[in-house]
Structure 1
Amino acid sequence: MANRIWRLIGLIAGAVSLLAITACSPLKMLNALTPDGTFDRTEGIAYGSDPRQKLDVYVPHHPMVNAPVVVFFYGGSWNSGSRSDYSFVGEALASRGMVAVLADYRLYPQVRYPQFLEDAAGAVAWTHDHIRQYAGNPQRLYLMGHSSGAYNVAMLALDPGLLGAVGLSPHDLRGWIGLAGPYDFLPIKNPDVRPVFFWPDSPPQSQPINHVSRGAPPALLMASTDDDVVNPTRNTGGLALKLREAGVPVQDLYFSRTGHATLVAALSRPMRGLAPVLDEVTSFVRATPPQ
């Protein structure tokens, strides 16, 4: 029986490694293998007027009083993705006592930089204003993202103007978590990403690394050593170095058994043996006291 389980996990890992060329089917596979007995989900909550401006809330079945809250943004090169594909992330966080918010945002070609960041800020503002209705504590608010979603949360945490536009501040965040994020990627090499950032005139202010300041919230940055999509040395390592130089608390971790896609997949129950991503997220959230 154990051997069959490990063979299944191996097949899933191989499938998810093909994420970039097989659309969302590996994610749907992970969701199909994810139990739903750890959370209650409220779906399709509008935080804006556009059909893409919606979010889902995952509440632990037995939430603690004033539970910590994590708003998650998925990746997809700012031109693809859906919150429904990442229900395994909501389950993972809820299983550890966190209220999870998974948000959609407008994508290219409907919008370009910085409009998808404005959507992300709107989702965070909705969470801050309404999450007490779902047993969450807005004073224990964290952001988390994978790939381009990690870019989104980095920008919200580091550029005060984005949250300032919705009446918040990076000081309203207890911390942020980036998985395989692109934080310093000019000049842009990916042809699918170039039009999103007005290549070849991509603005320097679009780069998270250019917004680091001493007052930024604590960060947990994770990456795969063999990531062939987002260079972990330049992006995760480079941002971590600059945050430390500014006196910002930061921890950067690198895993050898994951790739770009399997880093976030390691949050799912079938693939948690690949890397302790969920354990590290849980420790980071628990170690940061409420405001």
Structure 2
Amino acid sequence: MKTVMLIVGVIVGLALIAGGAVLIAINRNGPAVLDAVDRISGGKTAVQLLHKQSLGDDKRQKLLVYGDPSASKALPVLIFIHGGSWRNGDPDDYGFIARNIAPEGFVVVLGGYRLRDNGRYPAMLQDTAAVTAWVHENIATYGGDPDRILLSGHSAGAYNVAQVALEERWLAKAGVPRAAIRGVIGLAGPYDFYPYDSDSTRAAFGSVGVGAESQPVNHVRGDAPPMLLVHGEQDSLVKPRNTRALAAALEQGGAGVQTLFMPAMTHNDPLLALAHPWRRDPEVIDTFISFLDRNAALSVPVQAKTP
């Protein structure tokens, strides 16, 4: 009996060490590791890469379309924009978003944007709007409904989608009708960070002299698309006050907003919660999918009040 317990203890210990090592690797090497873990642990799905498209001269200006090629009807579309402090990131590393969301009845588009010097404001917004415009013009070819588009992003990507959804000029210039955007989901996003107080925000925004007009919190309007804002209370990189500030402004302005604050989560945890095996704790992904389903309905959605 003692031998059996010893063996069990060793196995459990090794599993814990392996799990800890994976988390360390994800925190150091980011989404590429997370994508590999999800691919191994999530099992097979019918979701496939349907198309890859360049949108500009910069290699980061691209998108990837994922979906089930056997789908028999036009499906709503989720566009996901990656994070990385406007310095790093590649949509090629975010296949786990598509593998976990597309089976719920969506076409998923992973969008990229220019980074570092080439990606200074307003390039990240122009490129996010360009991804959305391409989707609206072309997604029907890949089984998507161009009039049911939802935007989402993590960290810097959450900023991108919130800003283009709230400050109307970006999507208007790109030719995207307001009614096509059915909702926005921000994960651990910076929405109220002026004056700039970090190297990444000073490089991406302060270096070109842009001010308070760059902030999503300053572009709230009553007819904004419904928003779901998710944030970890232990996030020390992008403080939860960003989500609280934007949610309060949206609520005061009469726009629909839902918040989910996770007490034990740090900055990357809301993203981890969308991938296997971390989606075993289902609160984030269940809330994410419920919001998508509710606002991707065929009828035009009614702006929801804060619960």
Would you say same fold, with TM above 0.5? yes
1:42 and 1:154 map into 2 onto residues whose CA distance is 27
CA shift in 2, pair 1:154/1:13, >3 Å? farther
1:155 and 1:20 map into 2 onto residues whose CA distance is 27
CA apart distance, 1:213: 0.8
Moved more, 69-78 or 272-281: 272-281
CA apart distance, 1:231: 0.8
Moved more, 76-85 or 31-40: 31-40
Give structure 1 stretches of 5+ with no counterpart: none
Q: Which residue of 2 aligns with 1:37?
A: 45
Does the CA-based 8 Å contact 1:158-1:170 persist in structure 2?
no
Q: Secondary structure at the match of 1:55?
A: strand
Q: Secondary structure at the match of 2:243?
A: helix
CA shift in 2, pair 1:243/1:13, >3 Å? farther
CA shift in 2, pair 1:10/1:102, >3 Å? farther
The two structures, once aligned, show a CA RMSD in angstroms of: 2.5
- Equivalent of 1:108, from 102, 109, 116? 116
CA apart distance, 1:42: 2.4
Partner deviation per Cα, 1:200-241 (whole Å, 9 max, x = no partner): 944111100000011111101111111111111x21111111
Percent identity over paired residues:
36
- Equivalent of 1:205, from 194, 208, 213? 213
Q: Secondary structure at the match of 1:77?
A: coil
Q: Which residue of 2 aligns with 1:287?
A: 294
- Equivalent of 1:150, from 158, 161, 167? 158
Give structure 2 stretches of 5+ with no counterpart: 1-7, 301-307
Matched, 1:140 2:148: yes
2:12 and 2:55 map into 1 onto residues whose CA distance is 40
More helix by share: 2
Does the CA-based 8 Å contact 1:180-1:222 persist in structure 2?
yes
Q: Which amino acid aligns with 2:288?
A: V
Q: Secondary structure at the match of 2:239?
A: coil
- Equivalent of 1:215, from 211, 223, 228? 223
- Equivalent of 1:173, from 171, 175, 181? 181
TM-score normalised by length of structure 1: 0.90
Instruction: Report how many aligned residue pairs link the two structures.
Output: 289
Mapping of 1:245-284 within 5 angstroms?
245-284=252-291
Does the CA-based 8 Å contact 2:54-2:63 persist in structure 1?
yes
Q: Which residue of 1 aligns with 2:168?
A: 160
Does the CA-based 8 Å contact 1:43-1:56 persist in structure 2?
yes
CA shift in 2, pair 1:6/1:156, >3 Å? farther
Moved more, 187-196 or 142-151: 187-196
Does the CA-based 8 Å contact 2:194-2:211 persist in structure 1?
no
2:267 and 2:141 map into 1 onto residues whose CA distance is 35
Matched, 1:242 2:234: no
Does the CA-based 8 Å contact 1:9-1:271 persist in structure 2?
no
Q: Secondary structure at the match of 1:247?
A: coil
- Equivalent of 1:65, from 48, 68, 73? 73
Does the CA-based 8 Å contact 1:146-1:181 persist in structure 2?
yes
CA apart distance, 1:264: 0.5
Q: Secondary structure at the match of 2:102?
A: helix
1:10 and 1:264 map into 2 onto residues whose CA distance is 22
Q: Which has the higher contact order (CA 8 A, sep 6+)?
A: 1
Q: Secondary structure at the match of 1:145?
A: strand
Q: Secondary structure at the match of 1:142?
A: strand
Q: Which amino acid aligns with 1:282?
A: I
1:174 and 1:89 map into 2 onto residues whose CA distance is 19
Q: Which amino acid aligns with 1:104?
A: G
Q: Which amino acid aligns with 1:47?
A: L
Greater Rg, structure 1 or structure 2?
2
CA apart distance, 1:93: 0.9
